[in-house]
Amino acid sequence: MAGRKRAKRSSVKKTDILIIGAGLTGLSCAFKLEKKRADYLLAEKENWAGGLARSFRKDGFTFDYSGHLLHLRWPETSKFILDSLGKNAKPLKRKARIYSSGKFTAYPFQMNLKGLPAKVRSECVEGFLKARRAFPEVKAENFRDWCLQTFGKGISKHFFFPYNAKLWNYPLEKLSTDWMGQFVPVPKTEEVLYGAYKDDVKGAGYNHDFYYPETGGINALPAAIASGVERLSLDSELISLNAANKTARLRNLGNVRYKKLLSTIPLKYLAEKVEKAPETVRKNAELLEHNQVYILNLGVRKCPLPQHWIYFPEKEFVFYRAGVYTNFSPSSAPRGFSSLYVETASKSGEFIDLKKAEGRIVKNLVSIGAVKDEDDILTSMWLKVPCAYVIYNEARKKALPELLSWFEKRGISSAGRYGAWKYSFMEESVKEGFETAEKLLKR
């Protein structure tokens, strides 16, 4: 587990740069500042560092907050991540599937219709060709219309609508389209036809190659970065922020005066911590929405599925995605056993009866042959991500720039997946951590 230093009461009262949150964004920023010998303090609420890139050990199994796979794209951060992991970095080629209409098909769905029942495949191909022939006068402004314009009725009905409804828990006609660029591959007509009648279209999408630590789960990455960060204070939750006096009140540390601040905690909740926040700040924060994700990790006797992960668009499956850790890291289970994860999403704050959900999940897993029966399950662990996917809607478009600019004017940068309130990934967090360090040193 990364970083294990505990805060000493009142040990630090002043710092040039205060960083809130020791996930990958905060750790990467601190790492850069350490190298530049800057005066900084990294304060983390939990008694571990790593944020969502943390791993847990239970009964000989290693679990993450579901599959946390390193899809690398930029030279500087790729090199940094791979150097940090050293020999522990294992390169892998995606083995992902979609399970629908009783069949496993290759990812992405829209390019690999071949394995579907003939009727479903025709519906998808005909809908796609019809959508391509239509030249809509108005460009789609919401996700639902965009799916229909881009993929047609069949592909939307069999994959994009049900899958995204399950993931976002938000009306698709109110979801904007500015999050999908890199996450939703748009095929050419010849690719759809090839994938429907000839063979799988290989290598499409952003995630065809990835890395994962050979041992230690994804926590190996934050642990490696944290080893180069001296001033990390655990158990030091930000309680409140006096933006006018540049003073933060932290659990176990008391008041800390700073010159500049980087916050990596969810922007919505940072705004709530501001003392005497103006109404515009409070109102804008209220406009930001997100879902919640519950992950069920399972240690099982043996999972025969060969995939790394599988998407489940259909309603009868409680989860939207499931994966097999041991297929990308055999060391995450005792020899001969397997470890799995299952991801379920719901509305923020919605009560989920985990016992009931677990029963349904196990039935679903048995139905696709992932486990033989209930007795195959040796251990389980639920993990909750209360703020998991931020909702891209019209309100976000207005509220986000206003909030970020209010904080910036007061020497506060807000970065990372939740600090910048966006759909992003681990490498981007490292990149933003580095960039923010440079920015804070210049100002």
Ligand X SMILES: Cc1cc2nc3c(=O)[nH]c(=O)nc-3n(C[C@H](O)[C@H](O)[C@H](O)COP(=O)(O)OP(=O)(O)OC[C@H]3O[C@@H](n4cnc5c(N)ncnc54)[C@H](O)[C@@H]3O)c2cc1C
Among 55, 62, 66, 177, binds ligand X (CB under 6 A): 66
Nearest CB to ligand X, comparing residues 44 and 376:
44
How far is 365 from 317, CA to CA, in rounded Å?
Answer: 9
Q: Please report the DSSP string for 253-264 in residue order.
A: TEEEEEEEEEE-
How far is 403 from 43, CA to CA, in rounded Å?
Answer: 22
What is the per-residue binding string for ligand X in 270-299, x denoting contact by CB under 6 A? -----------------------x------
Among 156, 284, 424, 436, binds ligand X (CB under 6 A): 424
Q: How many residues at the interface with ligand X, by CB under 6 A?
A: 35
Q: Is 60 exposed, middle or buried (0-12, 13-18, 19+ CB in 10 A)?
A: middle
**Interface with ligand X, residue 45, by CB under 6 A:** yes
Sign of CA dihedral 217, 32, 42, 263: negative
Q: Is 105 exposed, middle or buried (0-12, 13-18, 19+ CB in 10 A)?
A: buried
Give min distance, CB of 157 to ligand X, in A. 26
36 DSSP 8-state letter: T
Question: Considering only 65-73, 116-124, 194-202, 226-234, which stretch makes contact with ligand X by CB under 6 A?
Answer: 65-73
Among 44, 123, 289, 358, binds ligand X (CB under 6 A): 44
Q: CB of 298 within 8 A of CB of 383? A: no
Q: Distances from the Cα of 276 to the Cαs of 253, 256, 286, 414, in angstroms? A: 22, 18, 16, 19
**Interface with ligand X, residue 72, by CB under 6 A:** no
Nearest CB to ligand X, comparing residues 136 and 181:
181
Among 29, 30, 33, 52, binds ligand X (CB under 6 A): 52
Nearest CB to ligand X, comparing residues 343 and 376:
343
Nearest CB to ligand X, comparing residues 157 and 260:
260
**Interface with ligand X, residue 416, by CB under 6 A:** yes
Among 15, 25, 292, 329, binds ligand X (CB under 6 A): 25
What is the per-residue binding string for ligand X in 365-384, x denoting contact by CB under 6 A? --------------------
Q: What's the chain's length in residues? A: 443
Among 17, 19, 20, 220, binds ligand X (CB under 6 A): 20
Question: Considering only 129-137, 183-191, 373-381, 424-432, which stretch makes contact with ligand X by CB under 6 A?
Answer: 424-432
What is the per-residue binding string for ligand X in 304-343, x denoting contact by CB under 6 A? ---------------------------------------x
Q: How many beta carbons lie within 10 A of that of residue 230, not counting itself?
A: 12
Sign of CA dihedral 299, 304, 308, 314: negative
Q: Distances from the Cα of 318 to the Cαs of 70, 163, 167, 344, 384, in angstroms? A: 26, 11, 11, 7, 16
**Interface with ligand X, residue 392, by CB under 6 A:** no
Question: Considering only 29-37, 45-53, 93-101, 396-404, which stretch makes contact with ligand X by CB under 6 A?
Answer: 45-53
Residue 234 is encoded by which pair of tokens?
């655990």
Which residues fall within 8 angstroms of residue 415, CB to CB, at 6 or more apart? 25, 29, 262, 263, 264, 432, 433, 435, 436
Q: CB of 82 within 8 A of CB of 224? A: no
Nearest CB to ligand X, comparing residues 109 and 389:
389
Q: Which positions touch ligand X (CB under 6 A)?
A: 20-26, 43-46, 51-53, 65-69, 71, 237-238, 264-265, 293, 343, 385, 388, 416-418, 424-426, 429
